[in-house]
């Protein structure tokens, strides 16, 4: 990864932050993108921006122009792109019966359209470098989750989009990796939107029992090196994807019961 040019969206926390640190440790040129420039500048100093190896770019991935600016700033600074990690994401927790439609639109704008915009503008440079596009996804992209209709829809859409991009670039040397990280310790559940679009402000599960983002970052980089197409990190996720094709009704019931047991679950 030494001297590779890596763009990471949603880099101010969680998996994105861990990826930025790990790529920087390995000698890559890291472009970090998020809405908070203050957090990005702090991160840049933390991962040796003084060595001219890190570029923070304020980016709202829901805005096409911001995504174009991210790519243009990267090319201006480093001259090319080797890896694009579409990590920016947001979740929700509410029944579809009760949720405002604006919540679904907002989540699709971040999780799906953010990936589309960044990939669109970065693709010519990744084709030139025979580089890698990564989509940080979820088991929700393989099987719908209750109380997460918009989140599941956005991950299904993102995965379908990236799979199509992969096939279109079969003869151009572009690698497309879809990584399903499972439940990872981050702020995604605290910032998950409720039925009216407000951050729920608390997590319904024990964060200290979840996969550390640092582990996800290491698996992501290892998967790039091994030219993986899809990587489902957890055994639970692998089993669910396997069994949904054989015993889908049982899988539905198992998922229902799991999410119904969460504290203050909207599932009854």
Nearest-angstrom CA–CA distance, 11 and 134:
14
Residue 259 lies in a domain: no
Mean pLDDT across 209-230:
88
pLDDT mean across residues, the chain: 88
Please give the model's pTM, rounded to 2 decimal places.
Answer: 0.87
Residue 9 phi, psi dihedral angles, 5° rounding:
-90, 155
Q: What's the pLDDT band for 258 if we cut at 50, 70, 90?
A: confident
Residue 249 lies in a domain: no
Using one digit for the tens of pLDDT, what is the confidence trace for 119-164? Answer: 999 999 999 999 999 999 988 888 888 889 999 999 999 999 999 9
Using one digit for the tens of pLDDT, what is the confidence trace for 153-196? Answer: 999 999 999 999 999 999 999 999 999 986 665 555 567 888 87
CATH (domain of 135): 3.40.50.720
Residue 253 lies in a domain: no
pLDDT of 206 over the 80 cut: no
Host domain of residue 57: 5-236
- Which of the two residues, 28 and 45, has the higher pLDDT score? 28
Nearest-angstrom CA–CA distance, 80 and 4:
9
Catalytic residue selected from 117, 125, 151, 256: 151
Mean pLDDT across 51-77:
93
Residue 267 lies in a domain: no
Residue 212: the pLDDT is: 84
**How many separate domains does the chain show?**
1
Q: What's the pLDDT band for 239 if we cut at 50, 70, 90?
A: confident
Beta strands per DSSP E along 76-213: 83-86, 132-137, 175-180
- Which residues face 137 on adjacent strands? 180
Q: Is 151 a catalytic site residue?
A: yes
* Order of strands, sheet of 54-58, starting from the edge strand that comes earlier in the sequence: 54-58, 29-34, 5-9, 83-86, 132-137, 175-180, 230-232
- Residue owning tokens 């990564």: 134
**45: Cα separation from own chain's centroid:** 23
Residue 84 lies in a domain: yes
Residue 171 lies in a domain: yes
- Which of the two residues, 248 and 19, has the higher pLDDT score? 19
């Amino acid at each position: 990864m030494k001297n590779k040019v890596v763009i990471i969206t949603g880099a101010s926390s969680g998996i994105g932050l861990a990826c930025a640190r790990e790529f920087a440790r390995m000698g890559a040129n890291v472009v970090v993108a998020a809405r908070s420039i203050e957090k990005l500048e702090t991160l840049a100093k933390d991962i040796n921006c003084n060595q001219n190896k890190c570029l923070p770019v304020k980016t709202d991935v829901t805005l096409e122009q911001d995504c174009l600016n991210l790519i243009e700033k990267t090319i201006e600074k480093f001259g090319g792109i080797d890896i694009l990690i579409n990590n920016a994401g947001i979740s929700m927790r509410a029944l579809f019966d009760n949720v405002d439609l604006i919540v679904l639109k907002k989540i699709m704008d971040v999780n799906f359209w953010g990936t589309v915009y960044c990939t669109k503008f970065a693709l010519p440079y990744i084709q030139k470098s025979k580089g890698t596009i990564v989509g940080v996804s979820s088991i929700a992209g393989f099987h719908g989750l209750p109380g997460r209709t918009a989140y599941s829809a956005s991950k299904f859409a993102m995965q379908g989009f990236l799979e199509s991009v992969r096939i279109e670039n079969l003869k151009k040397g572009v690698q497309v990796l879809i990584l399903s990280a499972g439940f990872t310790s981050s702020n995604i559940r605290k910032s998950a939107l409720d039925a009216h679009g407000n951050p729920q402000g608390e997590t319904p599960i024990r964060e200290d029992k979840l996969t550390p983002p640092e582990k996800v970052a290491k698996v992501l980089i290892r998967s790039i090196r091994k030219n993986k197409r899809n990587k489902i990190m957890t055994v639970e996720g692998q089993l669910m994807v396997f069994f949904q094709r054989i015993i889908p009704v049982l899988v539905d019931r198992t998922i229902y019961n799991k999410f119904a047991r969460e504290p203050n679950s909207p599932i009854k």
